[in-house]
Amino acid sequence: MIISKITCIGAGYVGGPTMSVVAQQNPDIQITIVDVNAARIAAWNGEDLDQLPIYEPGLKEVVAEARGRNLFFSTDVDKAIDEADMIFISVNTPTKTYGKGKGQAADLKFIELCARQIASVAKTDKIVVEKSTLPVRTAEALKSILDNTGNGVNFHILSNPEFLAEGTAIQDLQNPDRVLIGGENPEAIEALVKVYEAWIPRERIITTNLWSSELSKLVANAFLAQRVSSINSISELCEVTGADVNEVAHAIGMDSRIGSKFLKASVGFGGSCFQKDILNLVYIARSYNLHAVADYWEQVILMNDHQKQRFAEKIIQTLYNTVNGKQITFLGWAFKKDTNDTRESAAIYVADYLLNEEASIVVYDPKVSAEQVYKDLDSLGTRSPEDNRRLVTVVNNPYAACRETHAIAVLTEWDEFKGYDWQKIKEDMKRPSFVFDGRKILDRQSLEALGFKYYAIGE
């Protein structure tokens, strides 16, 4: 099977960067990324590459190279389906907010809509690739919809989960640890292998059956998140025993069986994937009556919630047990550095906790807009949008954010925070001047020398 046209449904954090790199590396394949969100597509097509809908280091260069050559962004989903030999589904699969499985199961309504649309439009055989993260055995449902509502053409389904991390997406796509392809039809699998072989060595492209591939994605995220919760649990123990969590992480990480990555204690993991995918794993385990398995993985989430709450409580307790009317400056709102994505960011939950105590919060993040900050808080439904706007101010200058403030809380590990003129910040702050470092990026010694009261996770 020779693939000459690929369509990707979903122009989000995965579809956009992934397909841009596929297009960059396969100039002979025409790639069309489609989305129902017209504003998003317009932004992908915009003249100003600094205004792409997603901020990722290196992304605009890739888009600049391929867009208009063999990479196209469109809202015409039907046309793109009709033309394609291979269709990636890269739509969102959020946690369900209603009905059975509410708060745990993945909501597959967008996936099903895609399948029905592909089935109704397709007049030639297609390879359909699951790029979204899906519960194990989703391919079965997809196949049933495609075969029963289609026009009698053949569909081959592949699972090809994406392992990129935000902030390093382009690097991860250009040089992945591995690519995983699950499927039943050897020719369809080989067709997708060929696409990746354009830039990835064959030995790093793993092929498995469909169910192993679907499940591996959930398990990879669960293992990664588990490491963060494990080290975060130890950070609390460090704080009461005089051990330093960075030293412990370094000491255990040098054991090659443990490894040094993903052992950075923090205010808690965020992002659109870890929590959603673990909840989904827990739900799947429970649905097979595997309660011990479900309970085991659920602890990863409970520990993460605990860590966020613990950080907020530490701030309140240190500020003499009340933050009512006190200004607290948040440096960072994104869930990690080098992205404008705020989904499930720890900052949202720490802010909510402090706002319940009537704190007044000033936010500075180099890539997140005021509109997004308010949207994140409003979507919690804890208080009225008016109250969120009364209690929270978003500014675009870090020094202005820290002026006259009682305390600074570092919520995201943006590099620029390290290079600030901390002496100047100290001079303009209220006294005593507190810094709560939820990312352990600032230097205790120099801040204490300037007169700050410095608190960091796990010390």
**Residues at the site binding ligand UDX, with contacts judged by CB under 6 A:** 162-166, 221, 224, 228, 262-264, 266, 269-271, 273-274, 335-336
The residues binding ligand NAD (CB under 6 A) are 9-15, 34-37, 40, 77, 90-93, 110, 113-114, 132-133, 162, 164, 166, 272-273
Chosen from ligand NAD, ligand UDX, none, partner binding at 263 (C-beta under 5 to 8 Å by type): ligand UDX
Show the DSSP H helices in 199-209 as ranges.
none
CA–CA dist 229, 223 (Å, integer)? 10
CA–CA dist 171, 174 (Å, integer)? 5
Chosen from ligand UDX, ligand NAD, none, partner binding at 336 (C-beta under 5 to 8 Å by type): ligand UDX
Chosen from ligand NAD, ligand UDX, none, partner binding at 36 (C-beta under 5 to 8 Å by type): ligand NAD
User: Nearest 5°: phi and psi at 303?
Assistant: -65, -35
Residue 65: its H or E element: helix 59-66
95 DSSP assignment: B
CA–CA dist 223, 297 (Å, integer)? 9
Output 339 or 433, the one with its CB closest to ligand UDX: 339
Q: How many CA atoms lie within 13 A of 220 on its CB side?
A: 18
Chosen from ligand NAD, ligand UDX, none, partner binding at 228 (C-beta under 5 to 8 Å by type): ligand UDX
- 273 has catalytic annotation: yes
Output 226 or 433, the one with its CB closest to ligand UDX: 226
SS3 content of the chain, % helix, strand, coil (to 5): 45, 15, 40
What's the closest the beta carbon of residue 439 comes to ligand UDX, in angstroms?
Answer: 8
What's the closest the beta carbon of residue 154 comes to ligand NAD, in angstroms?
Answer: 22
Q: Which residues pair with 294 in a beta bridge?
A: none
Output 191 or 273, the one with its CB closest to ligand NAD: 273
Query: Sheet of 71-74: strands edge to edge?
Result: 71-74, 30-34, 5-9, 86-89, 126-130, 155-159, 179-183, 205-208
Chosen from ligand UDX, ligand NAD, none, partner binding at 110 (C-beta under 5 to 8 Å by type): ligand NAD
What's the closest the beta carbon of residue 425 comes to ligand UDX, in angstroms?
Answer: 23
CA–CA dist 29, 1 (Å, integer)? 13
User: Nearest 5°: phi and psi at 53?
Assistant: -70, -15
C-alpha distance from residue 278 to each of 53, 334, 420 (Å): 27, 21, 37
What's the closest the beta carbon of residue 249 comes to ligand UDX, in angstroms?
Answer: 8
How would you classify the pairing of strands 327-331 and 360-364? parallel
Question: Chain-centre distance of CA 214, in angstroms?
Answer: 18
CA–CA dist 414, 339 (Å, integer)? 10
Q: Which residues are annotated as a binding site?
A: 10-15, 35, 40, 91-95, 132-133, 162-166, 217-221, 257, 264-270, 273-276, 335-336, 343, 439
Q: Which of the following is catalytic: 8, 114, 273, 402?
A: 273
CA–CA dist 37, 84 (Å, integer)? 20
Q: Match 């956009």 to its residue by tokens.
A: 16
Output 335 or 417, the one with its CB closest to ligand UDX: 335
Output 250 or 291, the one with its CB closest to ligand UDX: 250
Q: Which residues are annotated as a binding site for NAD(+)?
A: 10-15, 35, 40, 91-95, 132-133, 166, 273-276, 343
What's the closest the beta carbon of residue 247 comes to ligand UDX, in angstroms?
Answer: 15
Query: Do 347 and 311 contact (CB within 8 A), yes or no?
Result: no
Output 114 or 265, the one with its CB closest to ligand NAD: 114
What's the closest the beta carbon of residue 259 comes to ligand UDX, in angstroms?
Answer: 11
Chosen from ligand UDX, ligand NAD, none, partner binding at 93 (C-beta under 5 to 8 Å by type): ligand NAD
Catalytically annotated residues: 273
